Amino acid sequence: MTTQETIAALDRGELRVAEQVGDEWVVNQDVQAAILDFFRTQTMETREVGPYEYHDKIPLKTGYAELGVRVVPPAVARYGSFLSRGVVLMPSYVNIGAWVGPNTMVDTWATVGSGAQIGANVHLAGGVGIGGVLEPPGARPVIVEDGAFIGSRCIVVEGVRVGREAVLAPNVSLTASVPIIDVTGSEPVEYRGEVPPRAVVVPGTRRKEFPAGAFDLHCALIIGYRNESTDLKTSLNSALREFGVGA
């Protein structure tokens, strides 16, 4: 398959940068390589869209009515991304190689980076930053699984995986190296790069000794888990209220 054919298949949703196999996510290195090659080989062009003018290498995505996607101006999705039926893009940005699942809301000024995999019925709240990952070859992209709620101004980068139906409170910032500490039991349990399914996560700090003294470093705290008996749509916000965190 040529580079152009690969990008066209990404745009139609026939290929993905990564797919879930059992409980694991398998990365398609050939697709990542094709995206990088596409950037190298495309030439800059000026494109006019109504009152807007763009000057870029990558065309804009088209055909939203056929896809069943709502796109609010001036939201932008690049060619080579895929938006499933029922997706809503408020003024936001979706980059090439990203895959967004059915009925997901990408709220105002949220960004979905290159190759990111966003599940069904996800809410990316206002100003959320989902990072792009294309290099090195085989690197896992950011993954947000079905039913997750990502609160306002959260940052999720460096291939972090947010488990299904997890809730990130506003301003949680996750990289591959940020400790994610479950404090619900008698002893802390630490994760890195992975938020367990249904976890409720808030910003936190952890004290560390340095030669110059003790300082508080950023971490994230799992303070509870969503109630299995709670209705999905209700529990997104009620989970935060239950643990004293506003949405």
How far, in Å, CA of 236 to CA of 144, rounded? 15
The range of the structural domain enclosing residue 61 comes to: 3-242
Average pLDDT over residues 21-46: 96
The two structure tokens encoding residue 161: 């995986």
pLDDT in tens, 11-22: 999 999 999 999
Residue 190 lies in a domain: yes
> Has residue 52 been placed in a domain?
yes
Instruction: Please choose, from the candidates 172, 173, 163, 183, the residue with its C-alpha nearest in 3D space to the C-alpha of residue 247.
Output: 172
pLDDT, tens digit, for every residue of 114-147?
Answer: 999 999 999 999 999 999 999 888 999 999 999 9
pTM (2 d.p.): 0.92
227 confidence band (pLDDT: 50, 70, 90) = confident
The rounded Cα 35 to chain-centroid distance in angstroms is 18
Token pair belonging to 47: 């494109």
Instruction: Give the amino acid at 150.
Output: I
Domain membership flag for residue 24: yes
Rg (CA), the chain: 19
Nearest partner of 33 among 9, 7, 59, 8, judged by Cα: 7
Q: Is residue 94 part of a domain?
A: yes
37-90: per-residue pLDDT in tens? 999 999 999 998 888 899 999 999 999 999 999 999 999 999 999 999 999 999
The answer to whether residue 236 sits within a structural domain is: yes
Q: Which pLDDT score is estimated for 245?
A: 60
- Paired with 100 in beta bridges are 83, 118
175-215 pLDDT, tens digit per residue, is: 999 999 999 999 999 999 999 999 999 999 999 999 999 99
Residue 221 lies in a domain: yes
Residues with Cβ within 8 Å of 1's Cβ and at least 6 positions away in sequence, in order, are 9, 34
Is residue 247 one of the residues assigned to a domain? Answer: no
**Closest Cα partner for 78 from 27, 114, 30?**
114
How many domains in the chain?
Answer: 1
What integer pLDDT is reported at residue 239 of this predicted model?
Answer: 63
CATH of the domain at 146: 2.160.10.10
User: Poorest-confidence range of 10-14, 148-152, 188-192, 240-244?
Assistant: 240-244
